[in-house]
Structure 1
Amino acid sequence: MNKDRPVILGYDLVSPLGTDLEEQWKRAAAGESGVGELTRFPLREGFPVRVAGQVEEIDVTPYPFLRPREMAHWTSPLFKHALLVVHRALKKAGLVIAPDVAPRVAVTFASAIGGLDALIEADRHLVASGKLPQPFMNPNSCINMVGGKVAIFTGATGPIVSGVTACATGSSSLILGAMFIAQGMADVALCGAADFPLIEPILAGFATMNGAYRPREGEAPLPPAQVSCPFSLSRRGFVVSEGAGCIVIASRAFAAAHGLPFATELAGWAMTADAFHAVAPNPVTVRRCMAESIRHAG
């Protein structure tokens, strides 16, 4: 292992496969799909999107910080899920962010769409009743507040950034955290992303872009578990899904000084812009990104 590479101390996630890390791994290894019928909102007749990857409800009993009173103002689900995965990742890492450590802990946590659900709900309420929204509506909808809530929750006061790169947001967050450590700006980084995009206008928009799965006209829909299987000839679009994840990384020196065990390091990374199309990837820059990552890893 290279002494200058960031090491991975802990991680956690919630996904359509479950809210327990071990359970998710077992289901994934068994080839199970977390895709099912869309139930997040009443479906209008003829609404094109009928399947989604939904995260099951969390039992907040073991987590006092997630109880209704604590989360009363944070109505968008991405906040409670972000805090949950950060809490559990730190616990797995064995890391306590004490006041002397906090200034050297970076937060690189973001979301592709943020709490757009809170904004849409507030707009509907305003149009219907004329009443102004509650004062936490804007913080709920601001993408930077995902990282902000993580920092407030953990006490981390190092560099903070919420970099949005659509479906690559989680990967970008990890790279940004690694860069902070590599540049000597932080010893630890809480990296991650959370998205809960099962919102009616968002799904409708993906459908009109021919992005979200819907069956061919005149054909019966596939069973949810068979929708959007990689390399399938019947694949027609992707399945919009929910999820949140956190990876705690640190410099090797910090891990050694604090007696924190690790088994994996972040060997290399790279970032490129496609500069090509609004949604289609550019094979040339994709290949270059992979090649530069390998070169950076040595």
Structure 2
Amino acid sequence: MRRRVVITGMGVITPLGYTPAELFANQIEGRTAVGPITHFDAHAFPTTFASEVKNFDLAQFLPDPTPYIRCGVNTHFALAAGRLALADAGLLDPKGDRSRMGVYLGSGEGKEDFDALITSNATATPVGERSANIRQATKLLYERLSGPDESEQEMYVPSGHLANAFALDGPFASCQTACAASSQAIGEAVEIIRFGEADVMLAGGSHSMISPLGVTGFNRLTALSQRNDSPATASRPFDLTRDGFVIGEGAGLLVLEELEHAKARGANILAELTGYGSTADAYRMTDPHPQGRGAIRAMQDALADSGLAPTDIGYINAHGTSTQANDSAETAGIKSVFGPYAYKVPVSSSKSMLGHLIAAAGVVELAITVMALRKGIVPPTINYQTPDPECDLDYVPNQAREVRFKHALSNSFGFGGQNIALVVSAFRD
């Protein structure tokens, strides 16, 4: 028999709350976290707003944050969410054998010294010229950059800090599949447990791209909304007038555990992960396949893995980014997989309130889905005002809804064509 995998702990650091309960309550109330960027001066950018984590202090979460002071915010968010998840699961105590407990994190680029880069180039640019003296700029940059700080740029570093901080000696991995990364980390961690390589995995993601380089990149791709006059209404998934996503930040970690291991220690089981599907569009680096080709296969594979029929799914937490291409392709994909039932199953996008947490998006949305499953209420898609003929499903517009269901699907689709679908189910012994 295949080993069953359950969720026994959840930890989140998000713009809408530092616990799953707080995050979910704000989602149900339809509250938005989107506002003017405060992390840097963005007044000259085409987009001047984001969904930021406010008033975060690692010292609130770790007894001694000193070893991690020079780490990037990705690591700080991950450490806080990881500690919360392990505490929720009753596994924070590092005593005993931890060799069957591992880490799988989806993350993005880490700490960047933007000021050193820009000032070095500016200083090395002769007055009246448009190009820097590269030799001089390189020399200045070498003098100003710190080796330990630069090592924190690597995408795998937060995973290592998690393993070290919480004495997780088992399987260790990280993935960088953009907006699908944390969902892929969860799916692969499930497989590790299923195949007996670990009994417990701390899995999820952490990311922040609310920086001059991050916002510049997405603006140059024309992926961000530019509703600077109304940031709170800028993220409007599936609405006809959507004009791009809202960049966010945060982290989410789940404790995934083999069922018998969880039962043996009397763990509180929150839900069961029953299905995982992973595919590639093999189409474009920035746009999904218009008919949702890869998304369709990912959803089909997740359903097949769970042994469920489409009509068993009672709620879909959509990727729902608020871009023209993604929302129409995801809708087409859901219609293809679910057929006529697609019009009956409620679909909503947490990004309408949270913004897009990039590599951390999938895990945070899965945590919301678990809360919805347990509470019997699904969050709305806010800012939905003008229906799009191509997006004609039930997106739970603007108001939360009581819905009792046993199984839910959570979608995550990333730049580069990565597609991940996860099925989470109410636990039944």
Same fold (TM > 0.5)? yes
Q: Is the alpha carbon distance of 1:184 and 1:121 closer, same or farther for their aligned partners in structure 2, counting shifts above 3 Å?
A: farther
Please name the residue that 1:262 is paired with.
269
Report deviation, 1:158: 0.8
1:164-203 maps to which residues of 2 (within 5 A)? 164-203=176-215
Please name the residue that 1:250 is paired with.
257
Show structure 1 runs of 5+ residues with no match: 216-220
2:218 & 2:103 partners in 1: Cα distance?
30
User: Which is strand-richer, 1 or 2?
Assistant: 2
Identity of aligned residues (%): 27
**1:116-149: CA deviation from partner (whole Å, max 9, x where unpaired):** x424345346555552422212321011111000
Please name the residue that 1:294 is paired with.
303
Aligned-partner residue type, residue 123 of structure 1: L
Aligned-partner residue type, residue 288 of structure 1: R
Report deviation, 1:102: 1.1
Report deviation, 1:38: 1.2
Match of 2:48 among 47, 50, 64: 50
2:229 & 2:150 partners in 1: Cα distance?
39
Please name the residue that 2:100 is paired with.
104
**1:193-238: CA deviation from partner (whole Å, max 9, x where unpaired):** 11110111221121121101114xxxxx441111021122221000
Please name the residue that 2:85 is paired with.
89
Please name the residue that 1:218 is paired with.
none
SS of corresponding position for 2:50: strand
1:149 & 1:3 partners in 2: Cα distance?
31
Structure number with greater CO (CA < 8 Å, separation at least 6) is 1
1:228-247 maps to which residues of 2 (within 5 A)? 228-247=235-254
Report deviation, 1:73: 2.2
2:20 & 2:112 partners in 1: Cα distance?
28
Match of 1:277 among 264, 284, 289: 284
Aligned-partner residue type, residue 26 of structure 2: R
- Which TM-score applies when normalising by structure 1? 0.90
Show structure 2 runs of 5+ residues with no match: 124-139, 308-429
1:9-48 maps to which residues of 2 (within 5 A)? 9-45=8-44, 47-48=45-46
Aligned residue pairs total: 287
Q: Is the alpha carbon distance of 1:225 and 1:275 closer, same or farther for their aligned partners in structure 2, counting shifts above 3 Å?
A: same
SS of corresponding position for 2:215: helix
Q: Is the alpha carbon distance of 1:166 and 1:292 closer, same or farther for their aligned partners in structure 2, counting shifts above 3 Å?
A: same
Q: 172-181 or 97-106, which moves further after superposition?
A: 97-106
1:161 & 1:40 partners in 2: Cα distance?
30
Q: Kindly indicate whether the alpha-carbon contact (under 8 Å) linking 2:2 and 2:194 is maintained by their aligned counterparts in 1.
A: no
Aligned-partner residue type, residue 118 of structure 1: E
Q: Kindly indicate whether the alpha-carbon contact (under 8 Å) linking 2:10 and 2:88 is maintained by their aligned counterparts in 1.
A: yes
Please name the residue that 1:123 is paired with.
117
Q: Kindly indicate whether the alpha-carbon contact (under 8 Å) linking 1:66 and 1:80 is maintained by their aligned counterparts in 2.
A: no
Q: Kindly indicate whether the alpha-carbon contact (under 8 Å) linking 1:97 and 1:155 is maintained by their aligned counterparts in 2.
A: no
Please name the residue that 2:226 is paired with.
214
Q: Is the alpha carbon distance of 1:33 and 1:55 closer, same or farther for their aligned partners in structure 2, counting shifts above 3 Å?
A: same
1:31 & 1:252 partners in 2: Cα distance?
34
Q: Rg: which structure is higher?
A: 2
